[in-house]
Amino acid sequence: MLDSQWYLGVWLAVMASHVIVLYGLYRRRRATADATDATSASDAEAVTVDDGVVQCPDCETANSADYRYCGGCAQQLPHAGPLDQQDTGPMGSLFG
């Protein structure tokens, strides 16, 4: 009888930790979505591409204008649009 109660306690602790982790992920995603909504297209246009170099707004690393992500902090650069809107090159679409 004691063993089954022990397993129940462990199971409840694991389920509680899952709920806490999922709530934390939800809050982070929601905060990111709110921050993304707050930035407008004018913010993306504020990033200037001079001589093929773009400065990351987060870490201020100079990146090539061809880069989609910053080489210093791996954040998506503001001038890079969604993948489906970018030129896919001579082969056409990436998935079809």
Q: What is the per-residue pLDDT across 70-94, written as a single tens digit (0 to 9) for each?
A: 888 988 887 766 555 555 556 555 5
CA 42 remoteness from chain centre = 20
pLDDT at 15: 96
Place of tokens 């001038």: 79
Task: Report how far residue 30's alpha carbon sits from residue 35's, in angstroms, rounded to the nearest whole number.
Answer: 9
**Which alpha helices (DSSP H) does the chain contain, by range?**
2-38, 41-45
Q: What is the per-residue pLDDT across 2-47, written as a single tens digit (0 to 9) for each?
A: 567 888 889 999 999 999 999 888 888 877 777 666 554 445 445 5
